[in-house]
Chain A
Amino acid sequence: MVLRHIPIREGILGAAILVLLGLVSIRYSGFIAPANLANVFNDTAPLIILALGQMVVILTRCIDLSVAANLALTGMVVAMLNVAMPGLPIPVILAIAILLGAMMGAINGLLVWKLAIPPIVVTLGTMTVFRGIIFLISEGKWINAHEMSTAFTGFSRTAFLGLPVLSWIAIATVIVFGVMMSRTALGRSVFAVGGNPHAAVYTGIDVGKTQFLAFVLSGALAGLTGYLWVARYAVAYVDIARGFELEVVAACVIGGISIAGGIGSVGGAVLGALFLGVVKNALPVVNISPFWQLAISGSAILIAVAFNARAGRSKGRIILKSAEGSV
């Protein structure tokens, strides 16, 4: 009875994750101990947060390849702020990180909205520009753990009800996005814009503005993750999270979010991110070199996109047949 309410795609992905966990636990039973699973979740938290932002962008038929660069730039800025003003309270730093990230997202969004430049071009461009700016402001230097204040680095690790704050922020983001996508006008218009932009215009939805807001959301989450990332690893430099945008897109594609827009769910994005997180954490346990990870996530993207496209296509055929039959 409960199973009927779980969509097929999410169900298969969830089952795949459970099978994966089962296989790894044959090799090393400690992997599925609650404490270790909590660690895996905490390790995947940044990916989950970013995947949710990316999901909204992809749903509106766009793509945001600048998230990792946005994350790195925000991380560097807050780290430098912390070095300059160690007394700055954490809520202020969080606000600055989110605002800065949202601003960078707004730049992407404006270029897509007002100038109608293809999102892939805009974000490929801003990706390199943001990275370059990190080099300019930091002069290529690293900011290391001993230069940051303990409050700054300690925040994301503070345990609360058994889980670190980083995990709680991911959970909160999942809940907020779950409500937003299903219960608010913005969430529904995101689906409408991606599903059929022309129809969306006729129902009074501003397509460009919705895409703009999607980029702002994605940017804000990238900014938030930027601070959490730097605090967690206690280091900031030009190259942090380089290439992470691909993992974020991979999480979305694996989670069944259609790159053509309009199809996808919060649960799918979260499961996609968790799948990659479990793979990443399982590799060292089963004695596979971490160098395999890039190829595995690449293959996972290909398999997921092929699988989703086939599922969608066969469904279309069936509808066509039944329509013919009824005539």
Chain B
Amino acid sequence: MSDTTMAARFVPNRLNSRAFRILRSWEALLLVVAVGIFVLNSFASPYFLNVWNLSDATYNFTEKGMIAFAMALLIISGEIDLSVASIIALASTAMGLAAQYGAGTTELVMIGLTVGLLCGAFNAFFVTVLGLPSIVVTIGTMSLFRGISYIVLGDGAYGGYPDSFAWFGQGYIYWVFTVEIAIFAVIAVIYGVVLHKTNFGRAVYAIGNNPTGALFSGIRVQRVKFILFLLTGLMSGVAAICLTSRLGSTRPSIAAGMELSVVTMVVLGGINILGGSGSIPGVVIAAVVMGLVTFGLGLLNVPGIVMSIFIGLLLIGVIALPRLWAMIAAKRRKI
């Protein structure tokens, strides 16, 4: 047989074409789920299909989503940060304290971002310089950061933020589009480009797949991880600014339990919890899905704690179902 006959007989496998791969990807499945929930919600409640209500609904995911992008990169690299909600509490407390001394909006934003960065650097120091496991470190800083808020605030609260500060959490860019959704979109694009189009993004994947291999191929593994922790801290700072501005007050219990929603969002977005794979578009759609679910259940008067059952089941189900599916498929193949 000559090579030419081989080539003539070769029929491209349509099932493996690029278009088909996109169609059966995790992101496509999520998109179908998102549309499904959207349609279900609009049947379930007459108040759902209203641009202003939908605009309000975006608050359900914007702040968490901002952190989720940075967390996605961190999880792809094989680390995790459970202290994000506590960073929000600490940053918010610092801003509240500054506001009591008459700090203006610019100063408050600077303080929020700086505290976020410092907390991120603190986590990064323990993980990358001392080489400690990120789960334990961030469980520790989770107590420490929120603990500092409790020391400063006790059972009190800070209020009295300047009027212009409310813009971040309550303002609109154009028509129904809130400032927060704009920030969310900008951050999503930045992280999408960084992860999927830059050397830095390739390095993140490489580290998650094989840290030793990454090191030997010339990637400064610890430095990349340090930057990822800094970014997660910074994003928590941004989320703290938005959340504080939206609520208009700070309590030490602010954003309690948010780390769970953020991790759920990331995992739902198709990021492998063991590191190495996942995409930013997936996280964007997952954020919208979670926002729609919470909003829809809220319209149906489902209490928040019951929603958390859904989120918990979602987190486990999203990982369990594909594995169950694979197990069943493997058994069938054996028969």
Interface residues of A (CB under 8 A from B): 63, 111, 115-118, 120-122, 124-129, 131-133, 135-136, 140, 238, 246, 249-250, 253, 259-260, 289, 291-299, 301-302, 305-306, 309-310, 313
**Interface 9-mer from B92-100, B103-111, B316-324:** B316-324
Q: A132-B309, A305-B132 are in contact. Are A292 and B139 (CB under 8 A)?
A: no
Closest-by-CB residue of B relative to A300 is: B140
**A-B interface contact total, Cβ < 8 Å:** 137
Contacting pair A249 B139 (CB below 8 A): yes
Contacting pair B319 A246 (CB below 8 A): no
Shortest Cβ-Cβ A-B pairs, 5 listed: A295-B147, A298-B143, A298-B144, A132-B309, A294-B147
In the bound complex, residues from chain A placing their C-beta under 8 Å from that of B144 are 294-295, 298-299, 301-302
In the bound complex, residues from chain B placing their C-beta under 8 Å from that of A127 are 260, 312
Closest-by-CB residue of B relative to A291 is: B150
Q: A117-B316, A289-B154, A295-B147 are in contact. Are A301 and B136 (CB under 8 A)?
A: yes
- Minimum C-beta distance from A307 to chain B (A): 10
Contacting pair B147 A117 (CB below 8 A): no
Name the prevailing secondary structure of the B interface residues. helix
Contacting pair A305 B137 (CB below 8 A): yes
In the bound complex, residues from chain B placing their C-beta under 8 Å from that of A305 are 132-133, 136-137, 140
Contacting pair B319 A297 (CB below 8 A): no
In the bound complex, residues from chain B placing their C-beta under 8 Å from that of A120 are 80, 135, 273
Contact of B135 among A63, A135, A298 (CB under 8 A): A63
Contacting pair A246 B142 (CB below 8 A): yes
Whether B19 sits at the interface, judged by CB under 8 Å, is no
Whether B131 sits at the interface, judged by CB under 8 Å, is yes
Closest-by-CB residue of A relative to B324 is: A115
Interface residues in B138-176 (C-beta closer than 8 Å to A): 139-148, 150-151, 154-155
Contacting pair B142 A132 (CB below 8 A): no
Q: How far is the CA of A277 from the CA of B17 in the complex (A)?
A: 61
Contacting pair B260 A246 (CB below 8 A): no
Contacting pair A125 B315 (CB below 8 A): yes
Contacting pair B316 A292 (CB below 8 A): no
Sampled A-B contacts (12; CB under 8 Å): A115-B324, A115-B327, A124-B315, A125-B315, A129-B316, A132-B309, A140-B303, A259-B133, A291-B154, A294-B150, A298-B141, A305-B136
- Minimum C-beta distance from A104 to chain B (A): 13
In the bound complex, residues from chain B placing their C-beta under 8 Å from that of A118 are 273-274
Closest-by-CB residue of B relative to A303 is: B140
Contact of A298 among B133, B145, B323 (CB under 8 A): B145
**Interface residues of B, count at CB 8 A:** 45
Closest-by-CB residue of B relative to A239 is: B305
In the bound complex, residues from chain B placing their C-beta under 8 Å from that of A115 are 319-320, 323-324, 327
Interface centre among A115, A238, A250, A260 (most CB of B within 10 A): A115
Contacting pair B323 A116 (CB below 8 A): yes
Closest-by-CB residue of B relative to A129 is: B312
Q: How far is the CA of A270 from the CA of B162 in the complex (A)?
A: 50
In the bound complex, residues from chain B placing their C-beta under 8 Å from that of A249 are 136, 139
Q: How far is the CA of A246 from the CA of B274 in the complex (A)?
A: 22
Whether B130 sits at the interface, judged by CB under 8 Å, is yes
Whether B6 sits at the interface, judged by CB under 8 Å, is no
In the bound complex, residues from chain B placing their C-beta under 8 Å from that of A299 are 140, 144
Closest-by-CB residue of B relative to A293 is: B147
Q: How far is the CA of A224 from the CA of B70 in the complex (A)?
A: 40
Whether B214 sits at the interface, judged by CB under 8 Å, is no
Contact of A302 among B131, B140, B324 (CB under 8 A): B140
Contacting pair B303 A135 (CB below 8 A): yes
Contacting pair A253 B136 (CB below 8 A): yes
Besides A132-B306, A292-B151, 17 other A-B contacts (C-beta < 8 A): A116-B323, A118-B274, A121-B263, A121-B267, A124-B260, A128-B308, A132-B308, A289-B151, A291-B150, A294-B150, A298-B143, A298-B145, A298-B146, A299-B140, A301-B143, A302-B144, A309-B132
In the bound complex, residues from chain B placing their C-beta under 8 Å from that of A291 are 147, 150-151, 154-155
Contacting pair A294 B143 (CB below 8 A): yes
Q: How far is the CA of A127 from the CA of B264 in the complex (A)?
A: 13
Interface centre among A118, A121, A133, A297 (most CB of B within 10 A): A121
Contact of B316 among A121, A132, A289 (CB under 8 A): A121
Whether B186 sits at the interface, judged by CB under 8 Å, is no
Contacting pair B126 A295 (CB below 8 A): no
Whether B311 sits at the interface, judged by CB under 8 Å, is yes
Contacting pair B147 A298 (CB below 8 A): yes
Contacting pair A136 B306 (CB below 8 A): yes
In the bound complex, residues from chain A placing their C-beta under 8 Å from that of B264 are 125
Contacting pair B135 A259 (CB below 8 A): yes
Q: How far is the CA of A30 from the CA of B260 in the complex (A)?
A: 43
Closest-by-CB residue of B relative to A124 is: B260
Whether B49 sits at the interface, judged by CB under 8 Å, is no
